[in-house]
Chain A
Amino acid sequence: MSYTLNFAAVWRSFDLLLQGLALSLGLAVVAILAGSVLGLVTAFGLVSKSEVLRRPAGLYVTIIRNTPILVLVLFSYFALPQLGIRLGKIESFVLTLAVYAGAYLAEVFRGGLIAVPPGQREAGLAIGLTEMQIRTSIIIPLMLRNVLPSLGSTMISLFKDTSLAAAIAVPELTFEARKINVETFRVIETWIVASCLYVATCSLLAALMRAVERRLAVPR
């Protein structure tokens, strides 16, 4: 009980934490956007009737989802150069998180696709739309509405996963927090402030998602 909290050292470095948070958000946004595209393509593969599409999509999702992201992060940064693919720290992390996000979002989207009644596609065919048109203007919008709640929580969890970028020295929020720890040894105070920043950001994201959900809700 002899420990006294002293936030002075943390406030002195608060700018660093905010910069780190900004980078965390940036990493998450780029990775989620890229991951959504990857996830959507994979989801269509997963629900495809063709084995040639279903197999690789399933393999990708299974391997990525069952491996700790830390291993994936270290792999793309340290093993890919040995295979001739050289990326900077940030690029390498964003790529990894996008691949990771793709696997999770593919599962989310697959669930949404299954929930779209087949009658919708049939109706689209009946009014003369092509398969691609049916996908972009009927199935994807319906699917997105189906998956909004789980999409929101997947995005938030991906944002939190940006904390692992600290392992390869990307200066995001967790990295900055650890740096301040090493500097000041005010570990407890630093983590309190850092976790409040994370919580506040996640709450904002969640509120945003709820607002979108409400706006897009099917009127009953």
Chain B
Amino acid sequence: MSAAQARRPVAGEAGGGGMAARRAIIGWAVRLVRRDQRQQLLALILLTVAVGATVVGAAVAVNTPSKAATTGTFGTANHIISLPGDDPSLSADLAAIKHRLGTIDVIEIRKIATGSAQPVVLQAEDPHGAYGRPMLALVAGRYPTGPDQVAVTGQVATLFDLHLGGAWRASGRSLRVVGRVENPQNLEDAFALVAPGQIISPSQVLVLVRATRSAIDAIDLPAGAAVASAPSPAGGLSPTAIVLALATFGMLFIGLVAVAGFMVIAQRRLRALGMLAAFGATDRHLRLVMIADGVVVGVVAALAGTGVGLAAWAFVVPVLQRSSGHRVVWSDLPWGLVLAAAVLAVVTAAAAAWWPARTVARIPIIAALSGHPGYHRPTRRFAVPGILLLTAGLGFLALAGAGNGSPPLLVVGILGITSGTMFLAPLAITGAAALCSRAPLATRLALRDLARYRSRSGAALAAIFVAIEIAAIVAIGFTARYSNPVDLTGPNLAANELVLYNAPANRDGGVPDTTSITGQDIQRAVRSLGASIHAAVVPLDLAVAPAAPSFGGVKQTAGLYQVTGNRYESAGQVYVATPQLLAHYGINPREIGATADVITSRAGLGTVSNLQLDPYGEGCPTAADCAFAAPKVQVLNRLPGFVDEPNLLITEHAMQALHLHAVPAAWLIKTRRALTPAQINAARQTAITLGGIIDTRGSTPTLSQLRNEAAAAGILLALGVLAMTVGLIRSETAGDLRTLTATGATTTTRRTLTGVTAGALALLGALLGTGAAYLVAIGWFHKTLSTTIDQVPVTDLLLILVGLPAVAFAGGYLLAGREPATVSHQPLE
């Protein structure tokens, strides 16, 4: 046996070892990932869940019902001209429309009596029509082509017990069922399809067109014709952009938690990394070990998350299909966003591993070899940059709040305050440890350990306080937003309500100059609808000044405004306080003050300055000409509070004083229970016939819902972070715990150590998070502090500041206490 001195092989690169070195390091790092699986699990699970949630969220977002609701009624057309079936010059009218507007798609309709409230129509339509194609899909069999052939939807087949190849006698004709069809964009649509031209006497003819409203208005339509317009697409951010923004924010948060996890892994590998440095690894090599680890975790999480998300989406598809009432295709996913989520997961994991990588690479080799975490910079050094960042953040927010609310300034301001608080977090930990220097042993030790190992306790605290900060900002921000009595925010309607507007213009507070359908016809159709869906129907009138100017064929109605300089802020739709409406809400007209101009359910509206009741709406030439300044506002709590409900009514007194007259504009339709998709569909069909539109409950939540959900989400997130990080934090002091046990510490001591660790982190996180959120609110709303943040969400704050630390302590106390297996030193191998 002799000592070896193998010759150095040639081709060693002069610098950092190049690709060969990187490959060797990455290979080792990958092996380590397998060895330290348990420690990686935290980041892996969080990232997997985030990617999975993003995939499902994105899938749900792009398959939104709102898009389908439009396509399911209009196809790819933007207007539907409804012609009466008994129009004597129907062919000529259709020819005229085609001549003026070009391509048209004609659907002939005849109602079939079913003996139930569910309407069924016989529909003659070209399955390959220019605009109606998205509204028709073949489920089985084939489309009808001959005079006695029909294809039916599932509902019609069930209703009449029809089967493919069977015969059906409808409208005095015998038809052979040749196919099963559906409206994939509106599965509630029950109809029987026949070939074009096969309805001898249609009750209604729908003409789908793509044209401007003015082009349609220029056509001389017959009496009884109506025009319905597709709602214009909602402005603002696209759902995929919102999902991507949420995913990015979520990943940022997860990144903070992952930093704590990678910090523990780095500590576990400290001696091995020291050894690597001892035989010649550069700082870059050392960092690469941890970063490669992060990338591996990110790639695994991205693949697993995408798989989990796609599998979950497969389960969500039928549920979404049922709830949204339109066909949802599994593969209709924003694949770009799915890829972006996967890339984000890899980037987040790599970035989270970067900080621990940088930290361990800086530890002196000798300290690393002895497993010593190295020298900590005094926490007071973080105070100055922390305070500077806080001040800068406040400055940016003040600028944003003072101006027009520039989003970049707002974001920079929030980031400034958040990062400033992060810098102060180690100081808070040290301060807490100092404060408790005379506390009982376990408490003192737990806090001292937090201060000693603050590289990971700091990361955990940052994740907790960011969770709480977001929750508190949401709670405070929405409280401020919802407290504005002029620009009312919240749910538009109750789940059992819908509003049917006679014309789209009515929804925006306007009244069309002319309507082709008489008031009596409208009333009859709406009453019939109310009877068929067992709903109460309450007419809603708008107040119009005879002299109000007309813009584009629409007359503006009286409105309530807060006037600031030249800026008019509308208080929303003002309906007329008709006896019928008042009676519906149980209000005796004598309860209304003789001089009250407006009655409302909005508590703060009476104290708002610069209010004007404008009889001409926004059509008023100048404020000085027509404003009815400082109207007397009376608050009546019995009036409803949702945004599109009649919560702001003009009184008889004001109507007379301003010489206004009431114009029927809409109908509040109210059922006993929440409206079913079939009831909504029936209302939509009626609206189309009348040329109007309907409004049903949207997705805007109530304030208390929002606040409670935000607080619960923040608390759950914080508890999740604690559950995942307290074990890691305590693992660093496992040696101390063994010594403590050897010197006779009881289970209670060990339990208290973990409980205090969790409770202290939770309390500090809650205090810092809430404090940071209030700083954001103060900066942003500094001009209107008294009105915007005066409503403190006491319950939610108590839950955060008291409940969270208490639950964290209890959880830590109950789950800890296991006696360490050995009192030993752990070697590198």
Partners in one complex: no
A-side interface residues toward B, CB under 8 Å? none
